[in-house]
Amino acid sequence: MFSVIKRWWHTVVHWFKPNGAGVHQPTPTPAPAPAVAPAQPGLNRNARRRLDAMRRKYERNRLKHDVWVQPGGPVPVHYPHATPAPTPVPQTELPPPPARPLDDNERLIVDEWMEGDGKEKVLYEENEFWGTFNFRDTILSQLERYWVYIERMRKYDPDAYAFYKKLGATLLPYAATHTNMKHKPLRKITGEQLEEYKKEITLTPWWREHWPAFGCVCQGINPHDEAAERTVWKGHMWTPKFLYITRYQKAPWSVQPVRGGKFYLMTVWFDRPDHPKSKHTKWGVPQTFPIWCSDDGKVIRALKTRETSNGQIRAEHDWRIPHTYTEWAKQWGLTAQLHLTHMFCCATEEIERSYYAMCRVAVTKGEATAVFGIEPQRVPYFFRDRDVTLTAEGRKQRVFHSVRPHMRNGVAVPLQFRGLKSFDWAGYHVDITVPGLDHFILGEVNVAAISMPPRYMRKRKGYLREAEFANYLKEKLKVGFGAYHR
């Protein structure tokens, strides 16, 4: 009863309000108070300046290791511009700079360029550890060695050679392959380290969703690892030069039969710069082993085979993991099963990370191609010494770059990419694309291969050899198949 009288009283009072106009209006429900984000610690101006100064210092130290070449091409026309005098602005009109919140991404990653060199420390960007190039200090030396090793693949794995010669294997920064770390002597993995080792035998959600059909990353293709093979290991141990995988519809007849799941062949390509060349051996030692994954990707197993290391076939029921892999795993105190599956998972992780960069840079020399990833804001710095390409007015064309979102005449302009995407640099030809925008993403190609003797390939139509499939994919990339269209 009291609530009814109270509601009637508020209604009568509302009639006599100036804005009531004698009409009953229900009391509006108050809007909920906006959620206030918790205050973040900020940096004052002096702290920001100190942080920026430290970043510039370590970045200059890193840039000292860059190697540059003399640009080729015509000389651009110079157009002098009159620089207007700046208009003085009273200090009283300048608003105080807002306090910038402390962002974890702005924390500096600083370390030696080569571990143990005793020299000044340099700057590292976080995405370098995931396979994206930010500095060009090692790229030219890696490219110089890449052409040597990719050509050596022709002898013992001609199909892989024909495929990655066209599409290119992916080069990685030193930080991603731990090349800048000291080469420590072999030691057995035990205790907590062994438990962590076992936890790393897993596939990422992205891999279990797409099940890529192929992938190849480079490891020891650089002068630093080559020098360690000569001095530290004295020729007794080699660094893998390529890690590549191929997915098949079903296991070949010489591999332990399995039902369901996904079947991969993984190859670890060993080579060294002074590997002897003779009549019976021509560089390169490929180690290929089969891996089976369950459909959900939670079970990973190295399969047994009947094929011996010299290509012979054992008895019909003599299935085993080759003795070579068992001896290889013993160096680390591991079983062959544990060692091979862990190596496969590490390779899949590196292959996946090679697709993280926004830009795909394809470098071509003759018929061979190499690939590496880079972010668009680093492209102008990275290819500053490219060969000159002129515009119609005789100016030097700007290289590929990103244009930030901005307002133009009151209209919002989204993020855009502009500039030269194809040019010559350091004696190579370079093509820059944005996967997903300019063409499809290679990592999402999941067409499994079929193991078939060559004599059957000639009789069946509709099948492509690896070289033909690589040409097909490269042509699709060139025409922009799968590109994003608004």
Mean pLDDT by 10 residues, the chain (486 residues): 45 40 37 38 75 92 94 86 73 53 65 91 94 95 95 90 96 94 82 93 96 95 88 77 94 86 94 65 79 95 80 70 88 93 96 95 96 96 94 91 90 91 96 95 92 66 86 94 83
Tokens of 198: 């076992």
State the CB neighbour count (10 A cutoff) for residue 328: 17
- C-alpha 254 chain-centroid distance: 34
pLDDT for 86: 77
Tokens of 304: 């047994």
pLDDT for 206: 96
27 and 9 Cβ atoms separated by less than 8 Å: no
127 and 354 Cβ atoms separated by less than 8 Å: no
Tokens of 341: 């599956």
402 and 376 Cβ atoms separated by less than 8 Å: yes
Cα gap 352→130, rounded to integer Å:
9
> CA end-to-end span of the chain, whole Å?
63
262 and 239 Cβ atoms separated by less than 8 Å: no
Tokens of 168: 């290119």
Domain regions of the chain by residue span: 139-387+421-486
pLDDT for 312: 64
Strand-pairing partners, residue 282, are 277
The SS3 of residue 57 is helix
pLDDT for 135: 96
The residue type of 217 is V
- What number of residues does the chain have? 486
pLDDT for 2: 42
169 and 217 Cβ atoms separated by less than 8 Å: yes
Q: Which has the closest alpha carbon to 139: 382, 431, 421, 354?
A: 382
Helix (H) or strand (E) holding 142: helix 139-152
Cβ-in-10-Å burial (0-12, 13-18, 19+) of 278 comes to exposed
Cα gap 176→58, rounded to integer Å:
19
Cα gap 271→470, rounded to integer Å:
24
DSSP for 235-304?
A: TS---EEEEEEEEESS--TTB----SSEEEEEEEEE--TT--B-SS-BS-EEEEEEEEE-TTS--EEEPP
